[in-house]
Copies of this chain bind each other. A is one copy, B any other.
Amino acid sequence: MSDKATPTKARRASEVSQWDREADVVIVGFGGAGGCAAIEAADAGAQVLLFELASQSGGSTAMSSAEIYMGGSGGTRVQKACGFDDSTEDMFTYMMMAAGPQADEAKIRNYCDNSLAHFNWLCDLGVPFKDSFHKERAIMCLTDDGLLYTGSEKAYPFAQHAKPAPRGHNLYIEGDNGGPLFMKIVTENVNKRDNITVEYETRALSLIVDDAGEVVGLVIRQDQQEYNVRARKGVVLCAGGFVMNEDMLKKYAPKLLTGNNAIGNPGDTGTGIMMGMSVGAAAINMHEGFITIPYYPPASITRGIVINDKGQRFINEDVYHARLGQAVLDEAGDRFYFILTVEQYGDYEKFNFMGADIAGTGETVEELEEELGLRKGSLAHTISVYNEDAANGEDTQCHKAAEWLEELQPPFVALDITPGRGVFLPFFTLGGLDTLPTGEVLDAQRNIIPGLYAAGRTACGVVRRADGYSSGMSVGDATFSGRMAGKQVAGR
């Protein structure tokens, strides 16, 4: 036996000479997933030990807007109050389309069937939502409104298959302050439960497995000292994703290397995923991530068109911003632009979330073509087709919804949205450990690894692709999957 644990490499139980601590349930990470897992496990009667690397709770959830994607079953209280009827099937269809061919149907089914109950559970914790609808197309809700569209629900091709409903639930607080408020409430709920002990500034090093391959504990480090923690029922990994680990990004998610702003907390180094892998767990969907060009507000940008270096349109500009970002990454070409009228450009500079520079302007389309180095006539052709379609109220080429169509008249402004040329490209990972809807971790052949659970970004959840992402799916998945894992491990 080595005295020092090699981080993430499993330790054999037979090498443990002394158990320093013990609980029914041991949870790694006190963000949204870990907090909710702890509450559920405690409420099911388990004694819980919750370890957090940082000196306080929060994780990436506290850094986020904490919109929560919920609906179905006729609608949440907020959806109903705002006049939206939302069926579970529409939500399920939308989320299945969003997850694409790698969708985990069982997980999405479970999420949608229990989404209303999840809303109610959060309300019972004390999470406040105002019964009001935010009409503006927004990256995040800066008002205290409780509900908004946060995805591509109203856009092609989603709207053709699932009746749109807004499902982004925003906390009752002004500004982009949902994350801190949400984690404050979760932390208060954790703290008032006597059967949860939280220890901060604690690094989870390695899982401990017995000879039968069961996970029976965790090696932690506090103040340079290692301790062996026994988990009578199991260990729940809620340690975030791997967006802060460059080596892992290069190995697993090369497309994210195009991004220039890693979204997450400093602990998102993939240690939870690697601890799982060390005992044979399968990490799946590791190549996928959220990557985006946050091009609105102002919403008026949506009325412009995106073109490539051939002057061609290729995406309906009314989709969720990450779907557009992914489309730009997938599209062949050396340059990409948003072409806008002066009116559409509007108060862009006031927001400019996307940091795109002006690549050119033109009193005429010919002038703009020349400034952008586009082939003569290429953009002119695109705009002429677009204008004809706009006049007819139907975008025959990319299917942007009629409400966003208007003829483009000079003078024009072009914003450079070419990745690598200044445009803001935030990103995070969407791969993780393969789990059942219960949070039980699976090996490569989908056998359950006894005693091991994962939730939040350490697991591969309901949301699996940038081009189907909707805001609120991450915190929705983190909190929901945390609860599932907490319940399951406590009942073991």
Contact = CB atoms under 8 A, between A and B. Distances in A.
A434 interface: yes
Contact of A9 (B15, B283, B447): B447
Smallest CB-CB A-B distances: 5 pairs = A287-B287, A101-B254, A102-B254, A274-B444, A330-B330
B375 A396 contact: yes
Given A330-B330, A330-B331, 8 more contacts: A9-B447, A12-B211, A274-B445, A277-B443, A277-B444, A279-B280, A287-B288, A332-B398
A376 to B, nearest CB: 10
A7 interface: yes
Contacts of A254: 100-102
Nearest to A2: B212
B332 A280 contact: no
A346 interface: no
A252 interface: yes
Interface in A326-383: 327, 330-332, 375, 377-378, 381
Contacts of A398: 310, 332
Contacts of A377: 385
A8 interface: yes
Interface residues of A, number: 59
A385 B254 CA distance: 35
A397 interface: yes
Contacts of A248: 444
B251 A284 contact: yes
B282 A280 contact: no
A31 to B, nearest CB: 21
Residue from A7, A213, A315 whose CB has the most chain B CB atoms within 10 Å:
A213
Given A102-B250, A251-B434, A286-B287, A444 B8 contact: yes
A12 B396 CA distance: 62
Contacts of A80: none
Interface in A1-29: 6-10, 12, 14-15
Interface string A298-332: 00000000000010111100000000000100111
